[in-house]
């Protein structure tokens, strides 16, 4: 087990066994349904954790930036999709990257397609982003005219390969129940397949479909008529996934150990070194009251004992105020370490940049991407 004496500032702790089991579950689901598993690496951002995926048989990945793509390309990953719309100011870096890996690019506007068409020395797979309900990026799923215009334009470029349509059903993160998540995922798959079928008829070619969101991909038994899935958060999960009913407590593989700085008897609250720069400002609003993560006690055997009344009440830059039950309050001493299950594990990794495993190993992560 890890040595808590080594923890002097907020530190990410991960349970390697749990993380590997989560990878195995998602990989098995995809393989048995004949679907390509292209996990999103923005969650862990670590070449060392990437090896756990390689050992599970994963050969294709998703990233969220050109810098992240370069980081993993430098560490033996050869099939990389950047699931963020092309930033034309990075075209030189994109071309250099595409010269050494199979690179997938995401577009949702004719101006970007036209700019890429002029880069005749750029060889890349092109995915058209479809908005199936999240309302963040992409062509609306009902706008068949724009989808066809963009698809035809890409198809007429000899150096660009129209791979298919891509969506992220992020609306599942705002669902109230697990049943609603499954319904939203199913609806999203139906909508993007409606787009696919229209393009296949118009273009006379096969169009692939790529989907990705942890809540839907983890909860549904049948992933549906899709060619690849791109979940990322599932490797660690977090307080949000628990609140949504996506994961069980024993599947949560990441938390943040924070030093206890002070205690306040009059309001039964604890001050920790762990603020917004460590835990982010992501909030769970469906919990009463709203909070910034669960404070937890680890029992013998490493099983979580999560109580709804133990939570991070407020955050400032370096400070965190933790509300706990009276029994826990009496046990905790100044100088102890308290574990926080963050609301969003991806943001915590970006903020802190390295991990300590439960068996005492340090693992570096790529940050500032």
Q: Structural domains in the chain?
A: 4-11+247-364 (2.40.37.20), 16-236 (3.20.20.10)
Cβ(194)–Cβ(141) under 8 Å?
yes
Measured CA to CA, the distance from residue 55 to residue 219 in angstroms comes to: 24
Measured CA to CA, the distance from residue 39 to residue 311 in angstroms comes to: 30
Measured CA to CA, the distance from residue 238 to residue 4 in angstroms comes to: 21
pLDDT in tens, 119-135: 999 999 999 999 998 88
pTM: 0.94
**CA dihedral for 156, 157, 160, 165, sign (positive or negative):** negative
For residue 338, give every residue at least 6 positions away whose Cβ sits within 8 Å of its Cβ, in sequence order, or none. 257, 258, 260, 270, 272, 295, 322, 332
Tokens of 259: 């030093």
150-164, 239-253, 355-369: lowest mean pLDDT where?
A: 355-369
Count CB neighbours of 125 within 10 A: 19
For residue 298, give every residue at least 6 positions away whose Cβ sits within 8 Å of its Cβ, in sequence order, or none. 304, 305, 339
Radius of gyration for the alpha carbons in the chain, expressed in angstroms and rounded: 22
Cβ(48)–Cβ(55) under 8 Å?
no
Count CB neighbours of 85 within 10 A: 15
Measured CA to CA, the distance from residue 203 to residue 197 in angstroms comes to: 10
Measured CA to CA, the distance from residue 95 to residue 153 in angstroms comes to: 20
Place of tokens 């990075």: 90
97 has pLDDT over 50: yes
pLDDT in tens, 139-184: 999 999 999 999 999 999 999 999 999 999 888 888 889 999 999 9
Can the peptide bond before residue 163 be classed as cis, meaning omega within 30 degrees of 0?
Answer: no
73-82, 90-99, 171-180: lowest mean pLDDT where?
A: 171-180
Place of tokens 């009344």: 309
Count CB neighbours of 163 within 10 A: 22
Q: Phi and psi dihedrals of 210, rounded to 5?
A: -120, 130
pLDDT in tens, 279-324: 999 999 866 688 999 998 765 445 667 888 899 999 999 999 999 9
Angle between helix axes 47-55 and 66-73 (nearest 10 degrees) is: 60
More confident residue, 201 or 287: 201
Mean per-residue pLDDT over the chain, rounded: 93
């Amino acid at each position: 087990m890890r040595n808590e004496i080594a923890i002097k500032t907020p530190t990410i702790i991960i349970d390697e066994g749990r993380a590997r089991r989560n990878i195995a579950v998602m990989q098995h689901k995809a393989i048995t349904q004949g679907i390509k598993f292209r996990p999103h690496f923005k969650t862990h951002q670590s070449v060392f954790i990437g090896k756990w995926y390689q050992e599970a048989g994963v050969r294709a990945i998703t990233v969220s930036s050109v810098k992240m793509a370069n980081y993993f390309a430098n560490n033996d990953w050869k099939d990389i999709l950047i699931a963020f719309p092309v930033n034309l100011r990075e075209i030189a870096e994109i071309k250099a990257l595409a010269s050494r890996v199979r690179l997938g690019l995401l577009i949702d506007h004719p101006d970007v397609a036209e700019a890429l068409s002029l880069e005749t020395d750029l060889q890349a797979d092109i995915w058209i982003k479809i908005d199936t309900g999240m309302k963040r990026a992409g062509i609306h799923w009902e706008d068949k005219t724009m989808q066809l215009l963009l698809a035809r334009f890409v198809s007429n470029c000899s150096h660009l390969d129209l791979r298919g349509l891509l969506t992220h059903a992020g609306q599942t993160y705002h669902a109230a129940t697990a049943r609603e998540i499954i319904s939203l995922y199913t609806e999203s798959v139906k909508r993007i397949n409606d787009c696919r079928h229209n393009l296949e008829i118009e273009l006379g070619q096969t169009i692939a479909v790529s989907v990705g969101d942890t809540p839907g991909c983890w909860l549904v038994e049948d992933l549906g008529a899709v060619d690849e899935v791109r979940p990322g958060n599932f490797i660690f999960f977090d307080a949000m996934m628990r609140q949504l009913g996506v994961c069980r407590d024993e599947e949560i593989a990441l938390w943040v150990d924070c030093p206890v700085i002070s205690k306040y008897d009059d309001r039964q609250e604890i001050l920790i070194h762990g603020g917004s720069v460590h835990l982010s400002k992501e909030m769970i609003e469906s919990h009463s009251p709203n909070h910034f993560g669960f404070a937890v006690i680890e029992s013998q055997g490493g099983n979580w004992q999560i109580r709804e009344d133990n939570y991070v009440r407020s955050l400032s830059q370096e400070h965190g105020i933790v509300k706990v039950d009276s029994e826990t309050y009496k046990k905790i001493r100044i100088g102890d370490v308290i574990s926080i299950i963050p609301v969003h594990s991806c943001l915590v990794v970006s903020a802190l940049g390295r991990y300590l495993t439960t068996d005492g190993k340090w693992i570096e992560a790529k940050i500032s991407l």
